[in-house]
Structure 1
């Protein structure tokens, strides 16, 4: 810095009498040169550049100063040319960087790309110019040109981190509009990685994710299969297979199951993470019995796996197995003390909420509130207060419960949405259907582009006997969101339950099932419409499958009625009893027993 100032005085002896902006420019020049190497050292692995002189020649310093002057004087083109010329003559990386930055600051993308490529040509074993190249190419939306850049970035990454960098490629290229060009470039860049046994699995998984983004699930499945063939215990290939399974791509689940069987009892890194992801996917797909089985398998292999105990507790709570659920959740809380606080807190909140729910179901409202008192983080207070409102409502204090929800702060639109939904669900739970409909309607008006809210509004309309309104809302939802399968199912089930337009009802439900073939609720609707059509044996087969996938009180109501209609009274009573254990307050089940005058 001192040497740079001495050069300045020798070239411009009158500098001291000039205003402060020139001194500021001199500092800019000196700092851009003097601090470059430490910043590079911080940004990644050590880079080795050709030796550069410790001081600037008077001629070079003048050129750099002139470049900065031209930039201040609103002539970025001249500034860029001077800086790039200086970089080429001196082969100093910090000057190439400054040329790139000048071009970027002035939105001259092609000029920035030229400077970055000149930089990488001068320093082919430095990763920074290639990182700039990649960012510029993506900003220019030129995914077809990134292949060489990606290949060099992979080459320059240390071997132990190479798979990690490869796995980030799909996300890096996700913002490009031409997904086909991005995939072609990535495939070309990954050819060396595909031939290397150490990186082949990560490379195939990256290709598979990009195939999935361009809506080619079968090609993504083939890539996942190749990843697992290249490395049987690859977390990259297995994670892609789980993602495909979650999207219900046929053939994905056997890949996941084979991976889990192959790695069972081994110390394969990330195995438990893959297993947990598979279990969560099963839960999302409402295959609760299968999820329960997988949890038991995982806990047998890893009895101290905290997240598995949390999922176990949540599943058991849903099944109303209170004692076992409490034991699982308390075991999670014990194990979570060893987790990092940021990782433990969301799970602990879930555990406290479910323990409060169990106490509430027992009628022990003091214990429920005591569990909620243990939720202290500000981000989780809304969840706790919504649970408190439910407790108040169950005690008959409906208006107090609504007021508790309403006075919670709203920091985001998401908070507003949660509050409206919580109030509406609370009103529906206490059978205040008219008020629930009004609240769902207010929520749908507040967020008119949210299909879930319109769906909830339609279901609430049905509860109040507004069948025409329900149908209009659902048909409008189908027109706006043709892939929203819940709307097809809800309309089909409503028609079947009212014994109206049964062939149309069946067609609607089949459309929903085509999108989600393993959804137990949709299978329940199909079984019910078959029963209404008089196809009792087919109804029995479908409803038994649905109840196996998802033990649920409403499915039990329908399955039991089919058994009863077939003269299988013992089987009907057994199913109904099981349904009452699952949920003794289920309205469909209670109405079925009352209508058939049955005491199970």
Structure 2
């Protein structure tokens, strides 16, 4: 294969990362906040807030019981409220607390706590809960609030006694919910290892109880995962699923284990484990965690939320074909999820299937516009009701107050789907179909206030395709960019416009100036290296990639690019193989790295092994250039018919790909 093929392939891999991040965001938004971490609906401890401003979850209840509201008590309560009005919260708390003690009334303790919370008096609030417990020792509400306050004040070790008592006093359902909320408390603690060990000791008896065994194992596994111990977390998930195959808890822990194994290096079984315990390869972790998910999904009544979580981690691993399959299965059960249709459309675009993308994105568009109409009707009804009661009626259909529904909010997921984002993706689908007029029409639909850098970038791309490169560059250079991320996006858009028009020298000049100012920005250095490769400045490319590896020795993309480049030029193949293998250990599920591994095997003459690896990569990611590599390996292995079929199938999806066309011409395979 020519060096040009290598350049294009590395460029494809580099360009993928930005889209990968966008798809990851879209897929992450599919789930309610913390859906993988735990079921927030049943959480027993509210999320922690800053210690300086206690946030106390109080059970609803009457302020006082009129049956004992005598004259002295009424007078004392009035004094407390008057002290509060006079900005004397300390006096108000003491008066309310004295009344609560004397009358043994939950509602008065709640009011005292509310005053303390509003005054930012965390320690005082803690003393109120302890007085409450002393006066009313069977109050589970007092225990819950004391534990919550101790967590907010970063005094997790002090939660041991009240937590044990609350667990013993709770019903089985409440106990499981409380146990499931402990990982949030552990994340709040400065000493996470100490908090984990404390909670482990408390949970030991509950791991053996039939009604809490699953919750206890999953909670402990999640806490260990928070400490970077995915092997232990996986073990807990496996044990929990064995106890209850229908439980969601271990199944929602498994994707987080897959994420940890995908994003990080091979993890030790335990931070404190002896050296003899060894490491667990990331590929093995991912495979075992995936078994947990697949086992659950084989059940006919599997919850769609699991498919959503699974799809998200598959997308993170660049297994986009598999991710799309899971989303389509989930949408059979929940077809009115705009966010899922949006994520599916983004995956379609990344897979270069603009026709399917257009269909899926139009489904998202329909749901978003319907939701926007419902939101507007609801606001009009509220305004009419307010007008009838004489209240302020200044709100409009375009209410931008924090309480107003987000335009296009997806009620099923609680996440907003922006109309402008759907329109932008529809424009991209049109661009992929080479229908520039349709792309321009979709961009014209985007409201001016929503025309962000992505919209400007696509408009510039359309101008460049019309031969108006100077106008396109002027447009992107004039775009507002207030943050470093936006400035980088502008820069890379300019570079891409130049590369698309084969202005390699100008693109290299732009990147060179940027990296001179930001020499440690590995993303920019990587892009510069890829342009050097296209310019056949291979020594410069290698120097830049090695600079990245000096800054980030575990940068799998740089390891992969350098190893692949060496192999593609038939240079230092043993070194190339070592680099790509290291990249594969760091990112075992990345199909582009698996592709590189297969290509090194091809260059070494191991055609059967190469074809196996390349087929694995292509099954995860229907990328045209991976298909070209697979066709080469199959052809070299003597499987000409199979090679021709792979190449023709890829040509039907992406007939304009130069790498594929060169491969088919060289092998004399007709389209």
Query: Shorter-chain TM-score: what band?
Result: 0.7 to 0.9
Give, in whole Å, the separation in 2 of the partners of 1:166 and 1:593.
59
Secondary structure (helix, strand or coil) at the match of 1:177 reads coil
Mapped pair 1:495 → 2:527: no
Mapped pair 1:458 → 2:529: yes
| Structure 2: 5+ residue stretches without partners | 1-53, 262-284, 373-407
Higher relative contact order (CA 8 A, sep 6+): 2
Mapped pair 1:326 → 2:339: no
| Matched ranges for 1:75-86 at <5 A | none
Give, in whole Å, the separation in 2 of the partners of 1:371 and 1:162.
52
The question of whether the paired residues in 2 share the 8 Å contact of 1:80 and 1:102 is answered with: no
Aligned match of 2:290: 253
**Which protein has the larger Cα radius of gyration, Structure 1 or Structure 2?**
1
Secondary structure (helix, strand or coil) at the match of 1:471 reads helix
Going from structure 1 to structure 2, the CA distance change for 1:419 and 1:273 (only over 3 Å counts) comes to farther
Give, in whole Å, the separation in 2 of the partners of 1:121 and 1:300.
54
CA RMSD of aligned residues (A): 4.5
The question of whether the paired residues in 2 share the 8 Å contact of 1:443 and 1:453 is answered with: yes
Mapped pair 1:272 → 2:272: no
Mapped pair 1:315 → 2:347: yes
Shift in Å, 1:550: 1.8
Going from structure 1 to structure 2, the CA distance change for 1:586 and 1:383 (only over 3 Å counts) comes to same
Aligned match of 2:19: none
Aligned match of 2:594: 523
Give, in whole Å, the separation in 2 of the partners of 1:120 and 1:113.
11
Per-residue deviation, residues 388-445 of structure 1 (Å, max 9, x unmatched)? 2222222222232233223332343333333333333333333333333344455556
Shift in Å, 1:314: 3.3
Aligned match of 1:282: 314
The question of whether the paired residues in 1 share the 8 Å contact of 2:338 and 2:417 is answered with: no
| Matched ranges for 1:340-489 at <5 A | 341-343=408-410, 345-346=416-417, 348-376=419-447, 378=449, 381-441=452-512, 451-489=522-560
| Matched ranges for 1:501-580 at <5 A | 501-580=572-651
Query: Which one is further off, 501-510 or 122-131?
Result: 122-131
Shift in Å, 1:327: 2.3
Shift in Å, 1:486: 1.5
Shift in Å, 1:497: 1.4
Going from structure 1 to structure 2, the CA distance change for 1:231 and 1:582 (only over 3 Å counts) comes to same
Going from structure 1 to structure 2, the CA distance change for 1:81 and 1:454 (only over 3 Å counts) comes to farther
Going from structure 1 to structure 2, the CA distance change for 1:96 and 1:595 (only over 3 Å counts) comes to same
Give, in whole Å, the separation in 2 of the partners of 1:347 and 1:314.
14
Query: Which one is further off, 576-585 or 512-521?
Result: 576-585
Give, in whole Å, the separation in 2 of the partners of 1:401 and 1:302.
41
Q: TM-score, normalised by structure 2?
A: 0.69
* Number of equivalenced pairs: 550
Shift in Å, 1:287: 2.0
| Matched ranges for 1:194-213 at <5 A | 200-213=213-226
Per-residue deviation, residues 159-178 of structure 1 (Å, max 9, x unmatched)? 87765554443233313232
The question of whether the paired residues in 2 share the 8 Å contact of 1:454 and 1:477 is answered with: yes
Give, in whole Å, the separation in 1 of the partners of 2:476 and 2:171.
53
Secondary structure (helix, strand or coil) at the match of 2:318 reads coil
Give, in whole Å, the separation in 1 of the partners of 2:516 and 2:209.
55
Shift in Å, 1:211: 1.2
Task: Pick the aligned partner of 2:230 from 180, 196, 217.
Answer: 217
Shift in Å, 1:142: 3.9
Secondary structure (helix, strand or coil) at the match of 1:174 reads helix
User: Larger helix proportion, structure 1 or 2?
Assistant: 1
Give, in whole Å, the separation in 2 of the partners of 1:436 and 1:135.
55
The question of whether the paired residues in 1 share the 8 Å contact of 2:627 and 2:646 is answered with: yes
Q: TM-score, normalised by structure 1?
A: 0.76
Query: Which one is further off, 114-123 or 93-102?
Result: 93-102
The question of whether the paired residues in 2 share the 8 Å contact of 1:87 and 1:95 is answered with: no
| Structure 1: 5+ residue stretches without partners | 1-38
Shift in Å, 1:199: 5.6
Aligned match of 1:44: 59
Going from structure 1 to structure 2, the CA distance change for 1:571 and 1:64 (only over 3 Å counts) comes to closer
Secondary structure (helix, strand or coil) at the match of 1:146 reads helix
Going from structure 1 to structure 2, the CA distance change for 1:173 and 1:422 (only over 3 Å counts) comes to farther
